[in-house]
Amino acid sequence: MRIRILCFVVFLGFSIPTASAQSNFPRFNFNVGGGLGIGRGDVGKFVGGSYFGEVGGGLNLSRTFGFNGEYMYYDLPLKPSLVQLGIPDAKGHLHAVTLNGIVRSPWTIGGLGAYGIFGVGFYQRSVSARSEPLPTGTVCLEPFVWWGIHCVGTGNGSRVSPDQTLSSFSKDAGGFNFGAGVTYRLKHTHGAKVYVEARYHRAYHSDVQTTFFPVAVGLRW
C-alpha cells in the first residue's frame, strides 16, 4: 500500500510541471488595427479608396486556438463621379460585429508567426445624402440601390417609380469572413506582436451583397 502511495506521489510530481508547461499561455487576446479596404462587387463599383479601423478581444483555449469578438468601422466614400451625377453630399459607412475563431501556427521563425482567422457576424450598411425629391421618371443611378430607391426598367432605361425622396438609409444583414495574417513579436512588450492581416468579408444584404477585402496593420497581444 505504501509503495502504491509513493508511486502516486512521484507521478504527480512529474505530471504537475508538465501540465503547467502546457497551460503556460496567455488566457486572453486583444487586437487593435486599421488600414485600407478593397471593394468587391458593388462596393468596388460605387466606392473609392476606403479606410477602416478594428478592435477586438477574446479567450485563448490553447497556444494554437482561440476566439475573439471584433468590431470594425469601414468607410464607404462614394466615387466623385457618381456624386456629380446626382447624389449630392453622398457618404456612407459600415459597422461590423463578428465572432471569430483564430488558429495559430505552432511553428515560429525567430519572432515571426502566422495564423488563420474565420468567423460570422452582423453587418450594418448606412448611407446618407442631401435630401432630394425623385419624381417618377427620374433616371435611376446604380448606387440608388443602397438608398432603397425603387426603380422600374433595366439598364439605361431604368426610371424611378413612384415618387420618392433620396435621404439616409440603413440595411442590416448577416455575413461571414475569413483570412490570414503574420505576426512579429516585439521585445520587452509582454507578448505584444505587430500583425499584418488580409481578410475577405461578405454580408448578405437583401438588395445587393456587400463584399470587401480589408488589409490591416496593428498590434495583437
3-state secondary structure the chain: CHHHHHHHHHHHHHHHHHHHHHCCCCCEEEEEEEEEEEEEHHHHHHECCEEEEEEEEEEECCCCEEEEEEEEEEECCECHHHHHHHCCCCEEEEEEEEEEEEEECCCCECCEEEEEEEEEEEEEEEEECCCEEECCCCECCHHHHHHCCCEECCHHHCEECCCEEECCEEEEEEEEEEEEEEEEECCCCCCCEEEEEEEEEEECCCCCCEEEEEEEEEEEC
All domains in the chain, ordered by first residue: 31-220 (2.40.160.20)
The per-residue pLDDT for range 23-70, each reduced to its tens digit, is 588 999 999 999 999 999 999 999 988 999 999 999 999 999 999 999
pLDDT band of residue 19 (cuts 50, 70, 90) is very low
pLDDT band of residue 219 (cuts 50, 70, 90) is very high
Percent of the chain with pLDDT strictly greater than 90: 73
Q: Which residue has the higher pLDDT, 155 or 34?
A: 34
Q: Is pLDDT of 93 > 60?
A: yes
Closest C-alpha to 104, from 1, 11, 5, 185: 185
What's the rounded mean pLDDT across residues 126-151?
92
Mean pLDDT value across the chain: 88
